[in-house]
Structure 1
Amino acid sequence: MAGMSEDVGTEGYLSQMQTNFFGPLNVTNAFLPHMRGRRDGRIVFIGSRSSWKAHIPMYGPYAASKAALNAAAEALSAELVPFNVRVISILPGALRTSNWTNMTLLPSSPSSSLSSVREAYATTRDASIAHMSTLHGKQKGDPALAAEAIVDVVRGEGSAAGRAWPEMLVLGEDAELDIKEKCRSVEVNLEEWKDVTKGIAFEG
């Protein structure tokens, strides 16, 4: 799903959260008691590199839902250690699937003024939609190879044989580059604002 944040409103964000965040959590909570009972299990959450790259117009609802899923995965990973249940968040880049042809553009929020909001964002929105239309069929990621990598990690076989369990698995060079760029920008921000960051401590 995609849409300008003000245009889709909280209703649009909630719609995306229901699918990408609450949906996986509800499924997880349904089978988690069985995994805890047998003290063994593997939970795989399909996140996205968009959770590290949310600064693209119309990706807000999607990126936010995937960022929330990443955070929940981290929390569950820590909570389930005593039960030998492992959690992994998969962060794929662009995979050559049919997702772009099936992309849903979120409608305007009922609480927003359709005409004024749409008009205000028309240029950015149209440019974003035009860009999205060029992406299908050009993704460099092979979904079959991505699935194979995930299965290897879950089973501890193939490329994952003899390696420690990763709480995060990035798939695709594009995803790797985006995440590295985000990390660099965070480091720059911390360095530039370190005086303010450290300046809120009590004296003495």
Structure 2
Amino acid sequence: MTDPKVWIVTGAGRGMGAEITKAALAAGHRVVATGRDPQRVAAVLGESDDLLVVKLDVTQRADAGAAAQAALDRFGRIDVLVNNAANFYAGFFEETSDKQVRAQLETNLFGPMNVTRAVLPIMRAQRGGHVITITSLAGQIGLEFVAAYATSKFGLEGWMESLRFDVAPYGIRTTIVEPGFFRTELLVEDASTIWAELSIDDYAPRTAAAIPGWRTMNGQQAGDPAKLGTALVTIADLDEPPLRWVACADAVEAIEQKARDLLAQIDAHRQLSSSLAHDDAAPNSPRATAA
């Protein structure tokens, strides 16, 4: 294996976060495992000299700063940050209140930003590190009944794609992870899933049909979080980790189709799209020739 690294994993008390932590520990790395309830995190992960459990609500910048400092105090550096903590507001857009949409963004978008702001100065000082952010299939493809969630995940994708240019000169790498449907607790009500709180007659029949469908999906997802954890350790140990990693066959298939659809849509209107420049910017114009 490569030399041991120091990881910070958010949302480590269950699901992907717990399995990523276990995989990193099993590979000989040191992990700062964080969550809003550190007792739950400790109960799930047990004890190890290579494990530090720290309270971290990702919506609180003070928590993020304290967790980063705790990692430094215990292990002396931070090599890998995994932005994993998330929740799921499900419902049609008009039935999802403004308060709920903002709460979704606070956790899923601004939360990872808070933690990354706390960690980047440490990685810059080291001139090295790796920021891994878990987005979603819903960060590439808009789906029915998940407008707020998809908004937060699409936002993460744009942020991470741009962040890599900011930090690459300091030896910091970035990876976007786009999982499909994994058997985690994301769809557990009162734990991670919150339904839209408004009710509109036009949507009522569709909402009544959609919620049972999501409920029955819980525990039936194809993806194995333990296998994802092991695979992510492999990704993090690569000399040149990918900028984007699509996780699980369902996500590969769906995102490949999205790519084909995008290319087809571009090609269908290529002539119109390419006809919008100022006349003096045309390739054969006198100004273009002189340039």
Give TM-score, length-normalised by structure 2.
0.62
Equivalent residue in structure 2 for 1:136, among 205, 215, 218: 218
Q: Name the SS of the counterpart of 1:164 in structure 2.
A: coil
Aligned pairs (5 A) from 1:66-77: 66-77=153-164
State the alpha-carbon separation in 1 of the partners of residues 278 and 201 from structure 2.
48
Q: Is 1:8–2:96 an aligned residue pair?
A: yes
Amino acid at match of 1:183: A
Q: Name the SS of the counterpart of 1:139 in structure 2.
A: coil
Whose RCO is larger (CA < 8 A, sep 6+)?
1
Larger radius of gyration, structure 1 or 2?
Answer: 2
Count of aligned pairs:
189
Q: Name the SS of the counterpart of 2:279 in structure 1.
A: coil
RMSD of the TM alignment (CA)? Answer: 1.4
Provide the residue aligned with 2:277 in structure 1: 201
Runs (4+) off by over 4 Å: none
Provide the residue aligned with 1:111 in structure 2: none
Q: Is 1:104–2:194 an aligned residue pair?
A: yes
State the alpha-carbon separation in 2 of the partners of residues 82 and 188 from structure 1.
36
Q: Give yes or no for contact 2:97–2:197 (8 Å, CA) kept in 1.
A: no
Equivalent residue in structure 2 for 1:171, among 222, 227, 247: 247
Provide the residue aligned with 1:61 in structure 2: 148
State the alpha-carbon separation in 1 of the partners of residues 263 and 97 from structure 2.
31
Aligned pairs (5 A) from 1:84-95: 84-95=171-182
- List alignment gaps of at least 5 residues for structure 1: 109-113, 157-162
Provide the residue aligned with 2:114 in structure 1: 26
Provide the residue aligned with 2:127 in structure 1: 39
Q: Give yes or no for contact 1:36–1:83 (8 Å, CA) kept in 2.
A: yes
State the alpha-carbon separation in 1 of the partners of residues 97 and 187 from structure 2.
22
Amino acid at match of 1:13: V
Amino acid at match of 2:136: S
Q: Which has more strand, going by share of residues?
A: 2
State the alpha-carbon separation in 2 of the partners of residues 19 and 11 from structure 1.
13
State the alpha-carbon separation in 1 of the partners of residues 180 and 219 from structure 2.
14
The alignment-based identity, stated in percent, is 29
Equivalent residue in structure 1 for 2:267, among 165, 182, 191: 191
